[in-house]
Amino acid sequence: MSLPGDNDAVRRAGAVLTVDLGAIAANWRGLRDAGRAAGRPVDCAAVLKADAYGTGATLVGPRLAAEGCRHFFVAHIDEAIALRAVLPELPIYVLNGLLPGTEGDFVEHRLVPVLNHLGQLNAWRGAAQRYSRPLDAVIHVDTGLNRLGFNPDEAQVLVNERGRLRGLRLALIISHLIASEEQNNPVNGEQLSRFRTFVKAMPGAPASLANSSGVFLGPDYHFDLLRPGAALYGINPLPDQSNPMLPVVTLNARILQVRKIDAFQTVGYGGAWRAARPGRVATIALGYADGYFRTLINRTHVQLAGHRVPVIGRISMDLTTIDVTDVPEAQCQPGDGVEVLGAHMTPDDLAEHARTNAYEVMTSLGRRYARVYVDRPELQPEPEPAEQPA
Ligand SMILES: Cc1ncc(COP(=O)(O)O)c(C=O)c1O
């Protein structure tokens, strides 16, 4: 099997990551429509932190903007500055908040900090005074995650003293769910009730609670703006059910060498795999430095010419070994590609084999892969029927 794409980077690459921008756009539309299903004007943002979960934020952002997405979240201010270069007008919110001394950067690049405590609120109000202009702000209220956001005491201060927002325009109130992927976990309802109480006490500002899995908890959780990340990139937001999202990434790695081995020979560092029969081993060009986790040792497989091929032995920094004994030699030659992620192995599947989650699989996708972006026209929505003259 040859590798996808035909440019120089692909010709030289050990592995090629294909990202389907059309599938990301279709996933976004699906989530937005789920928000609108109850008939309320719920909008849908996109979380593009960690380089859009490894898929490439500066390409995903404009693609989603073209689809109608109007709100973008990242974690770090530098992620926001990079995104601002390709999204000149739309609001970009920085979840990690306002670091001391970065107020000028936020103003210069027209970014919106997610304010996580009173200290950040005070600093941002001070910036509004210094720059003599109203500045947009998002308030993050902690409803139980105990990680970032106004704690209950600080939230109460804000409710009692609305003047603390003077000079600022409250663009959004957010909170983040602890266990939204567990649909029957009572903590969801508890967080919802705390969030509702805060939002009611701060009338006039739009609100956002639902991450990807939160969208599937139902309309009570939707408020004004959905805030999905993972599901956009094809990660299953419903872990115990079939995945409603379209797959987004495929990863193909190149065979570098094929060798014969005798029965009882070992393969790789530490001799962690031993052949039970004479056979053949292929070495492919990806390793733990590319996000192919060491925990995958003797635990997963790749796909080659219709065969399910076990990964054997320890994963090295740049190399992985696979048992190709059952693949005909003609279909297993140096330069051929094997499918590491794709229809046969989703990021959720690989995560299970690696004993992690698909978020970590996606955000660990290697920086050394050649990247090919596709946008399948068949995933575009049907055009609206033209109005018939009366
Ligand atoms: C504050 C916040 N909102 C939204 C998201 C998106 O969550 P998910 O990727 O589960 O959709 C994240 C991601 O961790 C987050 O930290």
Residues 226 and 270 in one domain: no
Structure tokens at 54: 């490894």
Asked whether residue 8 is domain-assigned, the answer is no
- Catalytic residue, candidates 49, 221, 233, 288: 49
Provide the 8-state DSSP code for 271. G
Q: From the CA of 265, how far away is ligand 1's center (Å)?
A: 47
Residues 202 and 270 in one domain: no
Query: 227, 357, 362: which to mutate for ligand 1, most atoms within 8 A of CB?
Result: 227
Residue nearest (by alpha carbon) to ligand 1 atom 15: 176
CATH (domain of 163): 3.20.20.10
CA 219 to chain centre: 23
Residue nearest (by alpha carbon) to ligand 1 atom 13: 229
Q: From the CA of 180, how far away is ligand 1's center (Å)?
A: 11
CATH (domain of 334): 2.40.37.10
Asked whether residue 384 is domain-assigned, the answer is no
269 is catalytic: yes
Asked whether residue 169 is domain-assigned, the answer is yes
Residues 186 and 309 in one domain: no
Asked whether residue 264 is domain-assigned, the answer is yes
Residues 138 and 256 in one domain: no
Residues 219 and 339 in one domain: no
Residues 198 and 270 in one domain: no
Residues 92 and 226 in one domain: yes
- Catalytic residue, candidates 53, 200, 269, 369: 269
Q: What is the pLDDT of residue 383?
A: 67
Residue 27 CB–ligand 1 contact under 6 Å: no
Q: Which residues contact 245 (CB under 8 A, 6 or more apart)?
A: 27, 30, 231, 232, 234, 235, 236, 237
What DSSP string describes 36-78?
HTTSS--EE-EE-HHHHHHT-HHHHHHHHHHHT---EEESSHH
Residues 146 and 257 in one domain: no
Angle at 242 between CA 29 and CA 62, to 5 degrees: 25
Residues 280 and 139 in one domain: no
Residues 228 and 89 in one domain: yes
**pLDDT tens per residue, the chain (390 residues)?**
677 777 888 899 999 999 999 999 999 999 999 999 988 999 999 999 999 999 999 999 999 999 999 999 999 999 999 999 999 999 999 999 999 999 999 999 999 999 999 999 999 999 999 999 999 999 999 999 999 999 999 999 999 999 999 999 999 999 999 999 999 999 999 999 999 999 999 999 999 999 999 999 999 999 999 999 999 999 999 998 999 999 999 999 999 999 999 999 999 999 999 999 999 999 999 999 999 999 999 999 999 999 999 999 999 999 999 999 999 999 999 999 999 999 999 999 999 999 999 999 999 999 999 999 999 877 877 766 666 655
Asked whether residue 379 is domain-assigned, the answer is no
Question: What's the domain range around 288?
Answer: 249-374
Structure tokens at 156: 């109460």
Asked whether residue 306 is domain-assigned, the answer is yes
Predicted TM-score (pTM) of this structure: 0.95
Q: Rounded to the nearest 10 degrees, what angle do helices 77-84 and 57-67 cross at?
A: 60
**For the chain, what's the residue count?**
390
Q: Which residues contact 67 (CB under 8 A, 6 or more apart)?
A: 25, 28, 29
